[in-house]
Structure 1
Amino acid sequence: MGKWAAFPHPGEFDLDEAQVRRLWPRLHASDAEPLPQDPAALAAWRHFHRGEYQQAAEAGLKGGPTAVAAALKAMCIQASYLEKKEKQRLDLFLDAAHRAQTLALREPTYASAWYLHGYALGRYSQGISVARALAQGLGGTVKESLERAVKLQPRHAEAHIALGAFHAEVIDKVGALIGGMTYGAKRETGLKLFQEGMRLAPNSIIAVIEYANGLVMLEGDSRLAEATALYERAAAMAPADATERLNVALAQAELQD
């Protein structure tokens, strides 16, 4: 894998196994991931929550489905927040998408596998431009995987949010008419998905941020004040792990733009 850029706040979330177990309902309120019984999977997730993303990926890819999910999520977070080189970012997202697809086909009832496939491929699509990704036919694959994740696990808030973001991105880039006719993207559906994700995980920092982004894409400047209030809310939230710490920093950066 080469050496990944490190989490910029080392030691801030020095969680041991007992703390991860105790905090699990809070840490996984947004993905409904059950507490792993497999020690290797729990170890991979512990690395993830500490911000040790490369260790999470390396350990998780050697384990079972839940461990692999930890690895794939670590790859996506690394690409989203810490990898500065564009080619490496895209390679990480594409690698995660391919591995998630393999996992989903092997474990077809595992909602997180379908979510991670749709999420990673969606982020890859943003990186190459949504319009180009749609032209390559990636949009339908992203939508199908996220819809399957929601169907398999209706409490998966992150899948609702990611699917809402799909609707918002498509409408924002190609318009409501073409987006609706060609890709099934609808403004009302996108808003409902964001709202359901927020209802399922009201303390999810990334859900608040993505809802703010979605409001602007779907409703324009008329919802800008509401979106700003959501960014302010996210920026003031107390993070429970390393990834949430990165999300808080993202919200703070949005407010400075």
Structure 2
Amino acid sequence: MILKEKTILITGGASGIGMEAARQFLEIGAKVIITGRNEEKLNAVKKLYPQLITIKSDAGNESDAIALFNQVKALGGIDILYNNAGVGVAPLNLGIPNDKHLEGAIYEMEVNYLGIIRLNNLFMEMLQSRRESAIVNTTSILSIVPSLLEATYSASKTALSFYTKSLRKHLEIINSRVKVFELLPPLVATEMTVARNDKKISTEELVKALILGLEKDQYTIRVGDTKLVYILNRFFPKLTFGLINPKKANQYLNHN
């Protein structure tokens, strides 16, 4: 896929992976639009990269999604929709009755899964009209093996992974030109993971792998430890589950 001169919409682009993606896409000659919920963060990114177009929008909000579509359409449309925005709630022991389980799960599913389907539906006709276009959905290493500490987050990413594979096949059946990519990051060094001491990769490394995968039309882009986990889980699922969920996870749940 040729990325130069493409117009790319990145949700959750005001920090972390999204901001780094915006930087690298700009470097290769793409036009970039980013969204985010925090206007101050959007303004700060705009100061760093004046070429960016920024739009305040909540990825999990229906009215925001419709308004976003209308604004993007007025700007001339996009070639690539990069569904990067994602949320996670604090770890909860699902074995102990707690209303927060459901609240957290609804929040994660609304942003990480349902909000992406909503945006894809809104932008599909626009993307279909382009000579070469794509949807990029960010799932996770946890869509392969679930985390005990991020159970409902893992579930939301697994739902998105299955949807992504099905969407790709559906578009192939109707001879659509829209390409569907799945990005599966391992643990990435962002604000969301700052308190964790586990092995992490940088946002720069992740986005480099994403761009290489897009350019090669590699529809499933596994990065870093995700490659190893994918292979190990096929042959040694119990071992792989233990690697994702070391004893310290059990200790945390026992004390909370």
Same fold (TM over 0.5): no
| TM tier, smaller | 0.3 to 0.5
Higher strand share: 2
Q: TM-score, normalised by structure 2?
A: 0.37
Higher helix share: 1
Q: TM-score, normalised by structure 1?
A: 0.36
Name the structure, 1 or 2, with higher relative contact order (CA <8 Å, separation 6+). 2
- Which has the greater radius of gyration? 2
